[in-house]
Amino acid sequence: MDYIIYTLPNEPCPVSFLEMFGNDQPVEVEIGCGKGRFLLEQARAHQDRNYVGIEWANKYFRFAADRMARWGLANVRIIRTDAKLFITRYAPPDSLAALHIHHPDPWPKKRHHKRRLIDPAFVEAVGRVLQDGAACSIQTDSADYFEVIEKLFADRAEFQSSVRVIQSGQTGDGLVPTNYQVKYQRDGRTFYRLVFIRVPRSSQPSALGS
Ligand SMILES: C[S@@+](CC[C@H](N)C(=O)[O-])C[C@H]1O[C@@H](n2cnc3c(N)ncnc32)[C@H](O)[C@@H]1O
């Protein structure tokens, strides 16, 4: 169990994934991994990649960590922290091969919108930590949050939209469904799925001086 849980230093500084895993395999992060179902299935299917789950709710963190320990995979870790803090202060620049966000809390009331994970500072930080060509995949069941997220990414030159799917029932994307996805599929909810690709730094307009 010990190796599954990674504890961040109190003072924010870039983490070393090489030290975390003992190898330099590509690293994928899932934010709000909940009970860990998606992360573990991905880790088992792709043992040549490393997977880090970020979860701040102690109940889910404990559940996912226990499950991860039982599965005994070498390429998965979980960190209990605020994902916004992790992405903005701990993840090194140009370090992630993929970022997955499934059903981020939508905070539907207007006065709670400031609690949302995905805001301009977060999106800017995602552009900094993703490697060239890496994908940020987001799935939500909130039409309102979906529109906000889409605009935040569209406003930044670092990203190119590659997937935009609005679908009821099964998402049919071939990926392992998350716990919330399974629950919401039963309720017949609509899913909004977006994938943004990190544009190679060398081809960004500012890098060309134009
Ligand atoms: C609606 S649940 C979705 C869980 C899982 N992704 C799924 O699809 O089954 C949102 C999850 O994100 C976690 N979460 C929300 N905000 C977070 C943050 N800022 N940092 C880390 N985890 C967060 C919550 O504790 C919860 O487990």
pLDDT digits (tens, 9 = 90+) for 46-55: 999 999 999 9
Q: What is the best residue among 37, 55, 63 to mutate for testing ligand 1's pocket, by most ligand atoms within 8 Å of CB?
A: 55
Give the pLDDT of residue 204.
Answer: 79
pLDDT digits (tens, 9 = 90+) for 6-46: 999 999 999 999 999 999 999 999 999 999 999 999 999 99
- Domains by residue range for the chain, with CATH: 23-108+115-205 (3.40.50.150)
> b or e along 49-87 (b: 16 or more beta carbons within 10 Å of the residue's beta carbon)?
ebbbbbbbeeebbeebbebbbeeebebbbbbbbebbebb
CA 106 to ligand 1 center in whole angstroms: 10
Give the pLDDT of residue 154.
Answer: 97
Give the pLDDT of residue 155.
Answer: 97
Give the pLDDT of residue 96.
Answer: 98
Give the pLDDT of residue 210.
Answer: 46
d(CA 142, CA 155) in angstroms, rounded, equals 20
Query: Would the CB of 117 count as within 6 Å of ligand 1?
Result: yes
Give the pLDDT of residue 146.
Answer: 98
pLDDT digits (tens, 9 = 90+) for 115-173: 999 999 999 999 999 999 999 999 999 999 999 999 999 999 999 999 999 988 665 56
Q: What is the mean pLDDT of residues 96-115?
A: 97
Give the pLDDT of residue 177.
Answer: 86
CA 210 to ligand 1 center in whole angstroms: 39
Phi, psi dihedral angles at 119 (to 5 degrees): -135, 180
Q: What is the best residue among 105, 140, 180 to mutate for testing ligand 1's pocket, by most ligand atoms within 8 Å of CB?
A: 105
Q: Apex CA 8: angle with CA 106 and CA 179, to 5°? A: 35
